[in-house]
Each structure stands twice: as structure tokens, then as C-alpha cells.
Amino acid sequence: MTLRLGDTAPDFTQDSTEGSIRFHAWAGDSWVVLFSHPADFTPVCTTELGKTAALAGEFRKRGVKPIAVSVDPVESHHGWVKDINDTQNCTVNFPILADADKKVATLYDMIHPNSLANATVRSVFIIDPKKVIRATLTYPASTGRNFDEILRVIDSLQLTDSHKVATPANWKQGDDVVIVPSITDPKELAERFPKGFNAVRPYLRLTPQPNQ
């Protein structure tokens, strides 16, 4: 099953370090970052899970719940969590799914035989409160994920959901944004963007971030 942006994130029930989880019910009205790991006790993934724990406050203020998945059983996960907490100086405070039967890996197309024969590739799914997949990223085993970028994408999605703007290259919180081309009425432009805008071209109009 190949999932695309705009698809509904598949629901599932699976064991985890925090007990059995029915995904959609667990997610509730929150945004979710679902991210996969090929195996427990792997070095790059250990740093990633530690970073996720360290960013708990950043995820919380954005209304985001992180949840990890690895194909090893839950007993192995608990041992790995102790190592993560010890080596990364953190407290893992989110569930790690124990996907030994590869149910979640199969639903989310995380098995790529030409990359890793029988383990999950390192995917990220950003899912909104309506359970819609809004962004995906896939990394090779050798490259650690950029969590600044994951947070940046979430910030962009949440901003552009609430205002008729898009975010330009390398945008980050506080930078100017782009007014979407569909807004052409001068009265609507004035109402939506009281700080004004710079029309570099008729199709390229920059305005200060509207919610700051």
C-alpha cells in the first residue's frame, strides 16, 4: 500500500512501551509525528529518540504527539529505552510501537526491500488532527533525521492551515511568507494582511507572518 499526501493515515492496534495503542483513538485531536526505526539498539536511532524526548516541550506547544515504531518486541524496547535515557541524558516520554508482526510497517509501506531487506526504512509521517497525512520524509539508515526541519514543517502546515499563505524556501518562524495567488481582491488583501505586502512580481507577494 503506497500512502500519499492527503490520504487518511491507516488506523491500527499495536502493542507499545505504554501498552496497547489503538492509533486513531490515541491520537485524538492532536497532530502526530509517526517515525520508524529498523531495529532496537541502533546508534543513529538512539540519538533520534533521545532528541525527540528532549524536544517534548516543543512538540507539546504545537499540539503534537510523537510515536515511534520498531519491529522488535516490547521487551527489547524497554531495554532500549533504558539505554536511550542513559546515553542521551533524557527521559523517553512517548510510546514506541512493538511492530514484531510488521502490521504497522506494512500499512505504512515502511519495508523497502532494495534498501533494507526485512526491516523498516526510517520514515516520518506528519499527520493532522483529521488523521490526514500532510507530509512524509524518508531517510537512509546512515543519516540522522533533522528535527529542526520536522518542527519547521509542522509550523508551516499549522500556519498555512489558518491563513491564506505559503512559506518560501528556508522559511522559519518570524520570516515573511507568501500570499497565495488565489487572493486578488484588494479589499480582501487589505483585510487579511493589514501590515501590507511587497509585490516582487504579481504572483510573488511577500508579507510579514500574519500571526506574529
The pLDDT tens digits for 111-146 are 765 555 556 668 999 999 999 999 999 888 889 999
Residues annotated as part of the active site: 45
pLDDT recorded at residue 198: 97
The domain total for the chain is 2
**Are 198 and 121 found together in one domain?**
no
Is 49 inside any structural domain? yes
Task: With beta carbons less than 8 A apart as the criterion, state whether 85 and 52 touch.
Answer: no
**Are 88 and 41 found together in one domain?**
yes
**Are 140 and 74 found together in one domain?**
yes
**Are 80 and 120 found together in one domain?**
yes
CA distance 138 to 143: 10
Is 113 inside any structural domain? yes
- The CATH number covering residue 188 comes to 3.30.1020.10
**Are 169 and 138 found together in one domain?**
no
pLDDT tens column, 148-160: 999 999 999 999 9
Domain that holds residue 170: 163-207
Is 155 inside any structural domain? no
pTM (predicted TM-score):
0.94
